[in-house]
Amino acid sequence: MYRKDLKTHWTSEDPSTEVLESLHREFPVDASIFEGPDSRRDFLKLMGASFALGGMNSCVRSPLEKIVSSVIAPVSVIPGKSIFFSRSLSQNGFGIGVLVESYMNRPIKIDGHPDHPMSLGASSVALQADILNFYAQDRIKIPLRKKFDSSWMAFHEDWKKYLIKNPAGEGLWILHEPDYSPGFHHMRSLFVSKFPQAQFISYDSIDSKRSEASELLFGRDLIPFFDFSKPKVILSFDYDFFSDPVSGLKYSRDFAKLRSKNKNRLYSVETDYSLTGAMADHRLARTHQSIQFLILQLAFELGVTLAHAELKIEDKEWIKSVAREFKKHHGEALIVGSEFLPPEVQALIYQMNEKLGAFQDSMSFVKSHAHPENKKKSDLYQALKNKKVSGLITLGVNPIYDSHINISKVPFTASLQQSENETTEQSYWVLPESHPLECWSDARSINGIITINQPLCSEMYDSKNTLEFLSLILDDHQSSHDFIKGLWGLSQNDWEKALRSGQLKKETVIEHPAFKKVKFTPPHTINNIELHLKADPYLYDGKFANNGWLQELPRPISKTCWGNVALLSPDLAKEKKLKNNDVVKISVDEISIEIPVWIQPGLADSAIIVNLGHGRKNQGKKYGTNAFKLLSEKRFFVLSADISKTGSVKEVACTQLHHNFPGTEPLRVVDLGDLKKVKKEDKNLPTLFPTAPIPQSEKYAWAMSIDLNLCNGCNACVIGCQSENNIPIVGEEQVKVGREMHWIRIDRYYEGPDYSKVHFQPMACVHCEKAPCEVVCPVGATNHNDEGLNQMVYNRCVGTRYCSNNCPYKVRRFNFLDYNDRYSRSLKLRSNPEVTVRSRGVMEKCSYCVQRISEAKINADLEDRNIRDGEIKTACQVVCPTQAITFGNLLDPKSEVSHKHAEAHSYGVLAELGTRPRTEYLYRVKNPQPDLLS
């Protein structure tokens, strides 16, 4: 769907004729063509041989299998049943409660913990995908000295030799990931008491200006913490709170509380197009500099400052009407701002919130728990320059990639890492780091909940975690279990209780401190092109670059994957005569990178946005460009970048127009005022599609409802589904020809003359009651069951792809190649044992998580009862931070999904075709402010 289609919502700007043509095709051009190096003749030869050998293959008898029993059966494990571990995983140093599924002692899925307030059952893309890091094939397996196999003992000998020269740790620098857990804190103090000269850096390559702002206002380091369930008017200045790595899940859930009743209004001023901007009822796209002026103007309107800014008339009016609304909602308003804004500006935002009465209720502060004696990165650079560094230990961080320091002159270097990276390449000692799921630790959540983390299995390799490593070099040789148990000193009863619940205790961390007033003088405007360097939404600073799920996940708005791009607004692209895929050279102070261009409507006009975390040397290799090169000392916004065309072209993998339905209007949006006027549609339109040939059950009819008003496009459902249903990744080349395998995709639609609105629509198989795919299958591989599931039988499928051709929703996925890695040992262990791993030549699609339905049915039958409402939760439903997805039984009039389907504004996508989809959508509701409705 494209803009000139005269539709209200579209996915792409006026596309080229090639793209237009592709819209009428089942798959993109050449998707079904074998693009190997072999000629047609070779292909025929291979086919002939395959036929002959394939025939022989059927003569092979399946090999005998072994049943391996246990020596001593573990007490709590019933063979064939999963058990769930309450624990937490760390995000930027703070724990988030998770529930990890373990099947026969192997972790297979990570979900949010329903009782942990920072998760409430939801989980983010990064948490979900961490399970793949656990099974990564290229994890370091044994200690390496100068890249040769060695042992921990040899390392310890070396370390002792180092200590002879530096007994108090003189010139020893330890770089670790941010970790605010009590256990690490204690270990650190033990370390410092033995080696008082050693220096620690809590190393975060994307460090914001939050702590400076906090120091300026309060004289100490505090983190703002919000409650979005209370304010009715929210304004965000370039802060994407939905994607906050630490608190995003809680913020999303809180926001959804009022949004589901249409009782809040969100304004957003931002440069990039973020999830928050997409959810906003009013959005302005402005540069980093202009945003500061807008903040100053708002402060003036609200009576916080006397200075006001020079603004364009429309911006002035915008701010004025927003200020008016804020004054109306005293005590129910909240302003949030990016942590990357200058400290004085952040301070100004806090002052406005105080004036609006947002403190106490919706805004508070929590202790940062950062160690006061931690050194800064600049101190290390200085020490390196002065050759004052005698030893450098990097614990899970990768400074060679993101800071380009040179450590070749440092006498003793050791690096504890899960897999090889730029830093291990230059380290003398490379040591295997345990994955958090295989060792003991503890964690503190940002709101003060302490969790004791137990491992799900013993270490797969000869690895140690940070605690064990520091204990080793302290010559204590304590295991992480003994250390954590000794630290907390709990009785056996309390210990087990803490492990079971995943919550040991709650510390009070919330504060409402008084603060100083700070003056802000706006900078002089420079009318140059602004370059924004941002953490990638999924790869973060590159630490997840080795994760194929995250590499292949389309970025929410641009829909690009496998590598980064320079996002430009259409106007800037026109001015510079750039098209999509043109490679440009972006230079800052004589350092330059080359990167392909992607035109992103709705960006601030003179801004270029480049994501960091790509272009790694050994992980996620060859994808994208390392933009850290352009980053010097916290300059995430470069105010004068040069951009020039290089003339070369690099095709970007983008799923924007894949699986599109041209000429239809699948998305429905309504203004809040008109919501009551929406008429209920006739859901039993006449249809030519035949009825399912088998009688329908009188007990269950499964259905799903997706609330478009709550979907914020975070993509968690896509990864949740991928993890549950053993969905393979296909790689960059295959994505380019439209062969990505995600069963659920999130369609993104633009609206408005300046692309000021974005709407998301999750789209998976809708399980039509009169399914067009079923009638065309020559072998009955896709058919209906008695409970309304459109089932896919892999063993019957011969791969004609007729079903996909006839599917109006384009939700069927075909295994063009053998995408699922069924042979690597470690990846085999990750697969969900309840779902078939598909091989080449088979069609697949969303099954409504039929394995979960089967399990619930068996459990209900074992207990002689019916399945309760809410007992079955599909994988996408569980992970959703805003609870936009509901699943249940339509034949139960009291079920939640029945209620939602009965709403007047519940509609079936393409229901006009007579397909009678079981998945229905609730309208997206806009809540615009009347004054701004020009």
Partner 1 sequence: MPQIFRSSSNKLSLFSLIALFVTLILVAASAYGYFKSSYHTDVGVIREQVIPFSHKHHVQGLGLDCRFCHNAVEKSNTAGMPSTELCLGCHAEIYRDSPILRPLHESLKKDHPLEWTRVHNLPDHVYFNHSIHIKKNVSCETCHGDVGSMPLVSKQRPLTMMWCLECHKQASETKDLTTCTTCHR
* Residue ranges that bind partner 1, judged by CB under 8 A: 62, 64-73, 78-81, 694-695, 697-699, 783, 785-786, 789, 791, 793-795, 834-836, 847, 850-851, 853-854, 858, 861-862
Reading the block at residue 749, the tokens are 């639609």
- Name the helix (H) or strand (E) containing 792: strand 790-792
Minimum Å distance from CB 845 to partner 1?
Answer: 13
Minimum Å distance from CB 79 to partner 1?
Answer: 5
Bridge partner residues of 6 (DSSP): none
Minimum Å distance from CB 766 to partner 1?
Answer: 17
In Å, what is the CA distance from 111 to each residue of 37, 41, 745? 42, 50, 20
Reading the block at residue 200, the tokens are 């620690």
DSSP strands (E only) in 385-460: 391-395, 412-417, 429-432, 441-444, 449-453
Q: Torsions phi, psi of 615, nearest 5?
A: 65, 35
Reading the block at residue 418, the tokens are 């899960």
Q: Report the amino acid identity of residue 596.
A: P
Residue 58 or 493: the one with the smaller Cβ distance to partner 1 is 58
Residue 593 or 744: the one with the smaller Cβ distance to partner 1 is 744
Residue 83 or 675: the one with the smaller Cβ distance to partner 1 is 83
Go through the chain and tell me how many residues it has: 934
Strands 333-337 and 233-237: parallel
Which are the contacts of 691, defined by CB distance < 8 A and separation ≥ 6?
Answer: 770
d(C-alpha 234, C-alpha 326), whole Å: 9
Q: Map residue 648 onto helix, strand or coil.
A: strand
Residue 81 DSSP class = -
Minimum Å distance from CB 282 to partner 1?
Answer: 46
Q: Are 502 and 116 in contact (CB under 8 A)?
A: yes
Strands 790-792 and 782-784: antiparallel
Cα-Cα-Cα-Cα torsion 132, 138, 139, 144, nearest 10 degrees, comes to -170
Residue 65 or 590: the one with the smaller Cβ distance to partner 1 is 65
Minimum Å distance from CB 141 to partner 1?
Answer: 22
d(C-alpha 567, C-alpha 734), whole Å: 23
Residue 211 or 785: the one with the smaller Cβ distance to partner 1 is 785
Residue 37 or 63: the one with the smaller Cβ distance to partner 1 is 63
Q: What angle do CA 264, 270, 274 make, to 5 degrees?
A: 75
Minimum Å distance from CB 71 to partner 1?
Answer: 5
Residue 430 or 853: the one with the smaller Cβ distance to partner 1 is 853
Q: Report the amino acid identity of residue 448.
A: G
Minimum Å distance from CB 208 to partner 1?
Answer: 45
Q: Map residue 126 onto helix, strand or coil.
A: helix
In Å, what is the CA distance from 148 to each residue of 140, 161, 400, 407, 450? 12, 20, 21, 19, 40
Minimum Å distance from CB 6 to partner 1?
Answer: 42
d(C-alpha 672, C-alpha 723), whole Å: 37
Q: Are 356 and 302 in contact (CB under 8 A)?
A: yes
d(C-alpha 551, C-alpha 546), whole Å: 8
Residue 590 or 864: the one with the smaller Cβ distance to partner 1 is 864
Residue 507 or 871: the one with the smaller Cβ distance to partner 1 is 871
Residue 83 or 499: the one with the smaller Cβ distance to partner 1 is 83
Q: Convert 845-872 into a string of H (helix), E (strand) and C (coil).
A: CCCCCHHHHHHHHHHHHHCCCCCCCCCC
In Å, what is the CA distance from 647 to each residue of 2, 567, 608? 28, 17, 19
Residue 21 or 861: the one with the smaller Cβ distance to partner 1 is 861
Minimum Å distance from CB 771 to partner 1?
Answer: 14
Q: Torsions phi, psi of 863, nearest 5?
A: -100, 10
Strands 222-226 and 233-237: unpaired
Minimum Å distance from CB 477 to partner 1?
Answer: 23
Minimum Å distance from CB 856 to partner 1?
Answer: 12
Residue 6 or 64: the one with the smaller Cβ distance to partner 1 is 64
Residue 644 or 854: the one with the smaller Cβ distance to partner 1 is 854
Minimum Å distance from CB 159 to partner 1?
Answer: 32
- Residue 145 Cα to chain centre, angstroms: 35
Q: Are 655 and 740 in contact (CB under 8 A)?
A: yes
Minimum Å distance from CB 552 to partner 1?
Answer: 24
d(C-alpha 521, C-alpha 605), whole Å: 24
Minimum Å distance from CB 690 to partner 1?
Answer: 17
Q: Report the amino acid identity of residue 247.
A: S
Residue 126 or 797: the one with the smaller Cβ distance to partner 1 is 797
d(C-alpha 914, C-alpha 342), whole Å: 56
Residue 158 or 855: the one with the smaller Cβ distance to partner 1 is 855
Minimum Å distance from CB 832 to partner 1?
Answer: 10
d(C-alpha 121, C-alpha 98), whole Å: 8
Q: Are 712 and 278 in contact (CB under 8 A)?
A: yes
Residue 689 or 794: the one with the smaller Cβ distance to partner 1 is 794
Reading the block at residue 242, the tokens are 């939905």
Residue 847 or 895: the one with the smaller Cβ distance to partner 1 is 847
The neighbour count for residue 621, using CB atoms within 10 Å, is: 10
Rg (CA), the chain: 28
List b or e across 148-177, with b for residues whose CB sees 16 or more CB atoms inside 10 angstroms: eebebeebeebbeebbeebeebebbbbbbb
Residue 590 or 863: the one with the smaller Cβ distance to partner 1 is 863
